[in-house]
Structure 1
Protein backbone atom coordinates (compact mmCIF):
# COMPACT_ATOMS: atom_id res chain seq x y z
CA UNK A 1 0.00 0.00 0.00
CA UNK A 2 2.86 2.39 0.80
CA UNK A 3 4.39 1.76 -2.63
CA UNK A 4 1.07 2.57 -4.29
CA UNK A 5 0.78 5.82 -2.35
CA UNK A 6 4.35 6.77 -3.29
CA UNK A 7 3.65 6.02 -6.96
CA UNK A 8 0.48 8.15 -6.86
CA UNK A 9 2.42 11.00 -5.25
CA UNK A 10 5.14 10.81 -7.93
CA UNK A 11 2.49 10.89 -10.66
CA UNK A 12 0.85 13.96 -9.13
CA UNK A 13 4.20 15.71 -8.78
CA UNK A 14 5.01 14.86 -12.41
CA UNK A 15 1.71 16.34 -13.56
CA UNK A 16 2.34 19.51 -11.56
CA UNK A 17 5.78 19.83 -13.14
CA UNK A 18 4.84 19.06 -16.77
CA UNK A 19 3.83 21.51 -19.49
CA UNK A 20 0.29 22.49 -18.49
CA UNK A 21 -2.88 23.49 -20.33
CA UNK A 22 -2.64 27.06 -21.58
CA UNK A 23 1.13 26.88 -22.03
CA UNK A 24 2.79 26.86 -25.45
CA UNK A 25 4.69 23.82 -26.66
CA UNK A 26 8.35 23.73 -25.73
CA UNK A 27 10.70 24.19 -28.66
CA UNK A 28 11.88 21.07 -30.48
CA UNK A 29 13.16 20.03 -33.90
CA UNK A 30 12.64 16.38 -34.84
CA UNK A 31 12.34 14.57 -38.17
CA UNK A 32 9.34 12.77 -39.61
CA UNK A 33 10.02 9.45 -41.41
CA UNK A 34 10.47 11.30 -44.75
CA UNK A 35 13.23 13.45 -43.22
CA UNK A 36 11.16 16.64 -42.94
CA UNK A 37 11.92 18.82 -39.93
CA UNK A 38 8.97 19.10 -37.53
CA UNK A 39 8.89 21.93 -34.99
CA UNK A 40 6.05 23.48 -32.99
CA UNK A 41 5.76 26.09 -35.76
CA UNK A 42 5.74 23.63 -38.68
CA UNK A 43 3.60 20.84 -37.24
CA UNK A 44 -0.02 20.61 -38.35
CA UNK A 45 -2.41 21.73 -35.62
CA UNK A 46 -4.64 20.98 -33.79
CA UNK A 47 -2.65 17.88 -32.96
CA UNK A 48 -1.93 15.20 -30.40
CA UNK A 49 1.59 14.47 -29.14
CA UNK A 50 2.14 11.12 -27.45
CA UNK A 51 5.31 10.22 -25.57
CA UNK A 52 5.78 6.45 -25.44
CA UNK A 53 8.39 3.65 -25.32
CA UNK A 54 8.53 0.44 -27.34
CA UNK A 55 8.78 -1.71 -24.22
CA UNK A 56 5.84 -0.02 -22.43
CA UNK A 57 2.86 -2.40 -21.89
CA UNK A 58 0.45 0.49 -21.23
CA UNK A 59 1.50 2.10 -24.54
CA UNK A 60 0.92 -1.21 -26.35
CA UNK A 61 -2.54 -1.47 -24.81
CA UNK A 62 -3.41 2.18 -25.55
CA UNK A 63 -2.15 2.56 -29.12
CA UNK A 64 -4.99 0.71 -30.92
CA UNK A 65 -7.59 3.02 -29.31
CA UNK A 66 -5.52 6.14 -29.99
CA UNK A 67 -5.02 5.05 -33.59
CA UNK A 68 -8.77 4.60 -34.03
CA UNK A 69 -9.32 8.19 -32.80
CA UNK A 70 -6.62 9.38 -35.22
CA UNK A 71 -8.38 7.58 -38.09
CA UNK A 72 -11.81 8.93 -37.16
CA UNK A 73 -10.81 12.55 -36.57
CA UNK A 74 -7.96 12.89 -39.13
CA UNK A 75 -6.05 14.85 -36.46
CA UNK A 76 -2.27 14.36 -36.68
CA UNK A 77 -0.93 12.19 -33.86
CA UNK A 78 2.79 12.81 -33.40
CA UNK A 79 4.45 10.00 -31.42
CA UNK A 80 7.79 10.52 -29.72
CA UNK A 81 9.66 7.71 -28.00
CA UNK A 82 11.16 8.83 -24.72
CA UNK A 83 13.30 5.68 -24.58
CA UNK A 84 16.89 6.47 -25.62
CA UNK A 85 17.35 2.84 -26.77
CA UNK A 86 14.46 3.08 -29.28
CA UNK A 87 16.40 3.48 -32.52
CA UNK A 88 14.95 4.81 -35.75
CA UNK A 89 14.58 1.22 -36.97
CA UNK A 90 12.76 0.10 -33.82
CA UNK A 91 10.36 3.06 -33.96
CA UNK A 92 9.57 2.69 -37.67
CA UNK A 93 9.02 -1.08 -37.35
CA UNK A 94 6.70 -0.53 -34.37
CA UNK A 95 4.73 2.16 -36.22
CA UNK A 96 3.95 -0.09 -39.21
CA UNK A 97 0.84 -1.18 -37.29
CA UNK A 98 -0.22 2.47 -36.85
CA UNK A 99 -0.05 4.22 -40.24
CA UNK A 100 -1.98 7.32 -39.06
CA UNK A 101 0.67 8.09 -36.43
CA UNK A 102 3.59 10.36 -37.34
CA UNK A 103 6.68 9.14 -35.53
CA UNK A 104 9.18 11.89 -34.78
CA UNK A 105 12.81 10.89 -34.89
CA UNK A 106 16.17 12.35 -33.90
CA UNK A 107 17.53 15.27 -35.89
CA UNK A 108 20.94 16.96 -35.88
CA UNK A 109 19.50 19.35 -33.29
CA UNK A 110 17.36 17.15 -31.02
CA UNK A 111 16.91 13.63 -29.71
CA UNK A 112 13.39 12.43 -28.81
CA UNK A 113 14.21 11.66 -25.16
CA UNK A 114 15.64 15.19 -24.78
CA UNK A 115 12.38 16.62 -26.11
CA UNK A 116 10.50 14.54 -23.52
CA UNK A 117 12.63 16.27 -20.91
CA UNK A 118 11.58 19.69 -22.19
CA UNK A 119 7.94 18.66 -21.87
CA UNK A 120 8.88 17.47 -18.36
CA UNK A 121 7.45 14.03 -19.09
CA UNK A 122 8.22 11.60 -16.27
CA UNK A 123 6.64 8.43 -17.66
CA UNK A 124 4.85 6.92 -20.59
CA UNK A 125 2.44 7.16 -22.17
CA UNK A 126 1.92 10.88 -21.77
CA UNK A 127 -0.44 12.57 -24.21
CA UNK A 128 -0.70 16.29 -24.96
CA UNK A 129 -3.57 17.77 -26.98
CA UNK A 130 -2.59 20.98 -28.77
CA UNK A 131 -4.83 23.68 -30.28
CA UNK A 132 -4.23 25.53 -33.57
CA UNK A 133 -2.15 28.20 -31.76
CA UNK A 134 0.22 25.56 -30.41
CA UNK A 135 -0.99 25.73 -26.83
CA UNK A 136 -1.63 22.66 -24.73
CA UNK A 137 -5.33 22.23 -23.95
CA UNK A 138 -5.11 18.87 -22.17
CA UNK A 139 -2.59 16.47 -20.72
CA UNK A 140 -3.02 12.79 -19.91
CA UNK A 141 -0.40 11.04 -17.78
CA UNK A 142 -0.95 7.35 -18.35
CA UNK A 143 -3.70 5.98 -20.51
CA UNK A 144 -5.94 8.54 -22.23
CA UNK A 145 -9.56 7.39 -22.31
CA UNK A 146 -11.43 7.72 -25.59
CA UNK A 147 -14.16 10.07 -24.35
CA UNK A 148 -11.75 12.31 -22.44
CA UNK A 149 -9.49 12.49 -25.51
CA UNK A 150 -12.43 13.40 -27.76
CA UNK A 151 -13.48 16.10 -25.25
CA UNK A 152 -9.93 17.47 -25.31
CA UNK A 153 -9.97 17.53 -29.12
CA UNK A 154 -13.19 19.56 -28.97
CA UNK A 155 -11.42 22.01 -26.65
CA UNK A 156 -8.61 22.20 -29.23
CA UNK A 157 -11.12 23.27 -31.88
CA UNK A 158 -11.46 19.97 -33.73
CA UNK A 159 -14.81 19.37 -35.41
CA UNK A 160 -15.60 15.77 -34.60
CA UNK A 161 -17.32 13.52 -37.16
Structure 2
Protein backbone atom coordinates (compact mmCIF):
# COMPACT_ATOMS: atom_id res chain seq x y z
CA UNK A 1 0.00 0.00 0.00
CA UNK A 2 1.47 3.38 -1.05
CA UNK A 3 1.81 6.33 1.27
CA UNK A 4 -0.90 8.28 -0.63
CA UNK A 5 -3.44 5.51 -0.15
CA UNK A 6 -3.10 5.99 3.61
CA UNK A 7 -4.00 9.69 3.43
CA UNK A 8 -7.80 9.18 3.75
CA UNK A 9 -7.24 6.95 6.78
CA UNK A 10 -4.98 9.54 8.42
CA UNK A 11 -7.56 12.28 7.80
CA UNK A 12 -10.35 10.16 9.29
CA UNK A 13 -8.27 9.32 12.35
CA UNK A 14 -7.35 13.00 12.69
CA UNK A 15 -11.00 14.05 12.56
CA UNK A 16 -11.87 11.46 15.19
CA UNK A 17 -9.09 12.78 17.42
CA UNK A 18 -9.80 16.53 17.03
CA UNK A 19 -12.25 18.59 19.02
CA UNK A 20 -15.76 17.62 18.03
CA UNK A 21 -18.90 19.67 17.44
CA UNK A 22 -20.47 20.56 20.77
CA UNK A 23 -17.15 20.67 22.62
CA UNK A 24 -15.86 23.96 24.02
CA UNK A 25 -12.65 25.27 22.53
CA UNK A 26 -9.69 25.00 24.89
CA UNK A 27 -8.31 27.96 26.76
CA UNK A 28 -5.36 29.77 25.20
CA UNK A 29 -3.58 33.11 25.34
CA UNK A 30 -1.96 34.34 22.13
CA UNK A 31 -1.13 37.85 20.93
CA UNK A 32 -2.65 39.84 18.07
CA UNK A 33 -0.22 41.83 15.87
CA UNK A 34 -0.56 44.88 18.19
CA UNK A 35 0.53 42.80 21.20
CA UNK A 36 -2.93 42.49 22.81
CA UNK A 37 -3.75 39.17 24.39
CA UNK A 38 -6.51 37.14 22.74
CA UNK A 39 -8.00 34.27 24.73
CA UNK A 40 -10.75 31.77 24.03
CA UNK A 41 -13.00 33.88 26.28
CA UNK A 42 -12.08 37.26 24.77
CA UNK A 43 -12.26 36.44 21.07
CA UNK A 44 -15.25 37.78 19.20
CA UNK A 45 -17.73 35.03 18.36
CA UNK A 46 -19.09 33.42 16.29
CA UNK A 47 -15.70 33.01 14.71
CA UNK A 48 -13.54 30.87 12.49
CA UNK A 49 -10.18 29.57 13.71
CA UNK A 50 -7.79 28.32 11.03
CA UNK A 51 -4.59 26.41 11.81
CA UNK A 52 -2.18 26.74 8.90
CA UNK A 53 1.49 26.84 7.86
CA UNK A 54 3.25 29.19 5.45
CA UNK A 55 4.62 26.29 3.39
CA UNK A 56 1.23 24.53 3.09
CA UNK A 57 0.04 24.39 -0.56
CA UNK A 58 -3.58 23.71 0.43
CA UNK A 59 -3.49 26.76 2.73
CA UNK A 60 -2.15 28.90 -0.12
CA UNK A 61 -4.98 27.75 -2.38
CA UNK A 62 -7.66 28.06 0.29
CA UNK A 63 -6.81 31.44 1.84
CA UNK A 64 -8.13 33.71 -0.95
CA UNK A 65 -11.58 32.06 -0.74
CA UNK A 66 -11.60 32.15 3.05
CA UNK A 67 -10.58 35.80 2.96
CA UNK A 68 -13.48 36.60 0.63
CA UNK A 69 -15.87 34.99 3.13
CA UNK A 70 -14.31 37.05 5.95
CA UNK A 71 -14.77 40.22 3.88
CA UNK A 72 -18.36 39.39 2.90
CA UNK A 73 -19.57 38.33 6.34
CA UNK A 74 -17.53 40.40 8.79
CA UNK A 75 -17.02 37.23 10.85
CA UNK A 76 -13.61 37.22 12.57
CA UNK A 77 -11.13 34.71 11.14
CA UNK A 78 -8.35 33.96 13.63
CA UNK A 79 -5.38 32.31 11.93
CA UNK A 80 -2.77 30.41 13.91
CA UNK A 81 0.36 29.01 12.31
CA UNK A 82 1.07 25.63 13.85
CA UNK A 83 4.46 25.53 12.09
CA UNK A 84 7.36 26.09 14.52
CA UNK A 85 9.48 27.67 11.76
CA UNK A 86 6.85 30.33 11.05
CA UNK A 87 8.29 33.24 13.01
CA UNK A 88 6.33 36.36 13.87
CA UNK A 89 7.89 38.09 10.86
CA UNK A 90 6.99 35.24 8.47
CA UNK A 91 3.38 35.20 9.71
CA UNK A 92 2.91 38.97 9.54
CA UNK A 93 4.49 39.16 6.08
CA UNK A 94 2.24 36.33 4.82
CA UNK A 95 -0.87 37.96 6.30
CA UNK A 96 -0.33 41.29 4.47
CA UNK A 97 -2.28 39.78 1.58
CA UNK A 98 -5.18 38.95 3.94
CA UNK A 99 -6.01 42.04 6.02
CA UNK A 100 -9.37 40.63 7.26
CA UNK A 101 -7.58 37.74 8.99
CA UNK A 102 -6.36 38.22 12.55
CA UNK A 103 -3.10 36.31 13.01
CA UNK A 104 -2.47 35.11 16.54
CA UNK A 105 1.13 34.93 17.67
CA UNK A 106 3.14 33.48 20.54
CA UNK A 107 2.75 35.00 23.99
CA UNK A 108 4.60 34.56 27.26
CA UNK A 109 2.00 31.95 28.19
CA UNK A 110 1.41 30.01 24.95
CA UNK A 111 3.01 29.09 21.66
CA UNK A 112 0.82 28.47 18.59
CA UNK A 113 1.98 24.84 18.46
CA UNK A 114 0.76 24.31 22.04
CA UNK A 115 -2.63 25.74 21.14
CA UNK A 116 -2.82 23.48 18.06
CA UNK A 117 -2.10 20.51 20.32
CA UNK A 118 -4.96 21.53 22.65
CA UNK A 119 -7.28 21.64 19.65
CA UNK A 120 -5.80 18.24 18.70
CA UNK A 121 -4.90 19.44 15.21
CA UNK A 122 -2.92 16.94 13.16
CA UNK A 123 -2.29 18.83 9.93
CA UNK A 124 -2.74 21.95 7.84
CA UNK A 125 -5.16 23.54 7.26
CA UNK A 126 -7.66 22.72 9.98
CA UNK A 127 -10.61 25.05 10.33
CA UNK A 128 -12.95 25.30 13.31
CA UNK A 129 -16.22 27.22 13.30
CA UNK A 130 -17.11 28.40 16.80
CA UNK A 131 -20.45 29.66 18.10
CA UNK A 132 -21.13 32.51 20.54
CA UNK A 133 -20.69 30.14 23.50
CA UNK A 134 -17.23 29.09 22.32
CA UNK A 135 -18.32 25.64 21.22
CA UNK A 136 -17.21 23.96 18.03
CA UNK A 137 -20.02 23.84 15.47
CA UNK A 138 -18.00 22.36 12.61
CA UNK A 139 -14.46 21.43 11.72
CA UNK A 140 -12.74 20.90 8.40
CA UNK A 141 -9.53 18.91 7.97
CA UNK A 142 -8.08 20.16 4.72
CA UNK A 143 -9.92 22.57 2.46
CA UNK A 144 -13.14 24.10 3.78
CA UNK A 145 -15.56 24.58 0.91
CA UNK A 146 -17.39 27.89 0.63
CA UNK A 147 -20.95 26.57 0.94
CA UNK A 148 -20.09 24.19 3.78
CA UNK A 149 -18.32 26.98 5.67
CA UNK A 150 -21.24 29.38 5.17
CA UNK A 151 -23.66 26.67 6.38
CA UNK A 152 -21.48 26.13 9.47
CA UNK A 153 -21.46 29.86 10.17
CA UNK A 154 -25.27 29.88 10.04
CA UNK A 155 -25.29 26.97 12.51
CA UNK A 156 -22.95 29.01 14.73
CA UNK A 157 -25.52 31.79 14.84
CA UNK A 158 -23.77 34.16 12.48
CA UNK A 159 -25.95 36.86 11.01
CA UNK A 160 -24.91 36.58 7.37
CA UNK A 161 -25.70 39.19 4.71
Smaller-chain TM-score range?
A: over 0.9
For the residue of structure 2 that corresponds to 1:51, the secondary structure is strand
Asked if 1:48 corresponds to 2:70, the answer is: no
Q: Deviations over 1:17-48 (max 9, x none)?
A: 00010000011100000111001100000000
Q: In structure 1, what is the equivalent of residue 123 of structure 2?
A: 123
For the residue of structure 1 that corresponds to 2:154, the secondary structure is helix
Q: Distance in 2 between matches of 1:5 and 1:16?
A: 18
Q: In structure 1, what is the equivalent of residue 144 of structure 2?
A: 144
Deviation at 1:141, TM superposition (A): 0.2
For the residue of structure 1 that corresponds to 2:51, the secondary structure is strand
Asked if 1:5 corresponds to 2:5, the answer is: yes
Q: In structure 2, what is the equivalent of residue 98 of structure 1?
A: 98
Q: Which residues of structure 2 form unaligned runs of 5+? A: none
Q: In structure 2, what is the equivalent of residue 70 of structure 1?
A: 70
Question: What is the RMSD computed on CA atoms of the aligned residues?
Answer: 0.8
Q: Deviations over 1:105-135 (max 9, x none)?
A: 0000000011101101000000000000000
Q: Distance in 2 between matches of 1:39 and 1:80?
A: 13
Deviation at 1:2, TM superposition (A): 3.8
Aligned length: 161
Q: Deviations over 1:129-148 (max 9, x none)?
A: 00000000000000000000
Deviation at 1:3, TM superposition (A): 2.6
User: After the TM superposition, which parts of structure 1 deviate over 3 Å for at least 4 consecutive aligned residues?
Assistant: none
Q: In structure 2, what is the equivalent of residue 159 of structure 1?
A: 159
TM-score normalized with structure 1 length: 0.98
Q: In structure 2, what is the equivalent of residue 87 of structure 1?
A: 87
